[in-house]
Amino acid sequence: MLREMIFVSLKTVTEVFLLNYFMDTLTMNTANTQIWIELDTLKASGNYLMYMWYGSSIATATSNFNNTFPLSSQLLYHQVQLH
């Protein structure tokens, strides 16, 4: 079971940002595991570099739906799930 996991983005060598993410528990440990990551910025062109660390005791689980999605997205997500 994937538990100890973190995602980070690097702006520079000294600027490292922890990214919020949500792992869908209904798809966890399947061929279709879904992990949603909140990016700090995403430009229309260029590259975005992020890293994922997992399986380490220093990478504690921080999957959190509320921190990953803004309230407007949460309302839409829950409405779709109900139909």
pLDDT in tens, 55-70: 766 666 678 888 888 7
- Distances in Å between the Cα of 77 and the Cα atoms of 17, 39, 61, 65, 73 are 26, 18, 22, 11, 6
How many whole angstroms separate alpha carbon 83 and alpha carbon 79? 7
Rounded distance between C-alpha atoms, residue 14 and residue 10, angstroms: 8
Question: What's the rounded Cα separation, in Å, for the pair 38 and 74?
Answer: 13
Q: List pLDDT tens digits, range 2-50.
A: 457 888 888 777 888 888 888 888 888 888 888 888 887 777 887 778 8
Q: What is the C-alpha to C-alpha distance for residues 77 and 72, in angstroms, rounded to an integer?
A: 9
pTM (global) more than 0.85? no
